[in-house]
Structure 1
Amino acid sequence: MKPITLEQLKNEMLNTPESIQAYEEADKELAAIQLLHEMREHAGISKTTLAKRLGIKPSAINRLEKNPLGASMNTLERYANACGATINISVQY
């Protein structure tokens, strides 16, 4: 069997609108997860410290960092503020 490149595999797997949409949503979620981790690391605080700042349990931070797209904008802004950051939203066409 001949080896297949990642690009070839991606082209074969993303051959329907549904698969493309699922891939893009997963990509957005991964980017959001990375942003939350970066904010907390930049602030130099632990999940426990962040939870105390927000008045929530550390387990809530774990859930938020695993599924940021399920959070409200208010929650994401509170998270960012507790890390000394702000969230800006932009639209591209």
Structure 2
Amino acid sequence: MKYKTLAQVHDEAMQDPAYREAWDAEEELDRLQQTLKSWRVEAGLTSAQVAARMGIKPPTISRMENNATKMSYETLLRYAHACGVSFKLERI
């Protein structure tokens, strides 16, 4: 029996539109989470400092940076402002 590599299995699965859509959505979420953390780090802030600026508890910042799926747009704006960042949403 010939085994497939994980890359081969993934390539085959990417042919399924539903799988590809789920994969793309997960990649977008990963990029958002990386962006959030980079804003904070580039501003030279700790999660506790960002939390204080937002008026929330530090563990909330960790949850936002590691699981942004339930973050509202308003919260995203507050986080960006706390990090000294502005951003623009663009249609793709």
What is aligned with 2:53? 53
Question: Are residue 42 (structure 1) and residue 42 (structure 2) matched?
Answer: yes
TM-score relative to the length of structure 1: 0.87
1:56 partner SS: coil
Asked if 2 retains the 8 angstrom alpha-carbon contact of 1:64 and 1:71, the reply is yes
Query: TM (normalized to structure 2)?
Result: 0.88
- Count the aligned residue pairs: 91
Give the structure 2 partner of residue 27 of structure 1. 27
Which residue in 1 is equivalent to 2:88?
88
Alignment of 1:60-75 (within 5 A): 60-75=60-75
Q: Percent identity?
A: 31
Stretches of structure 2 that go unaligned for 5 or more consecutive residues are none
Structure 1: runs of 5+ lacking an equivalent: none
| C-alpha RMSD of the superposition | 1.6
CA deviation digits over 1:23-54, x for unaligned, max 9?
A: 00110010001100110011000001111111
Once the 2 structures are TM-superposed, how far is the Cα of residue 18 of structure 1 from its aligned partner?
1.3
Q: Which residue number in structure 1 is paired with residue 16 of structure 2?
A: 16
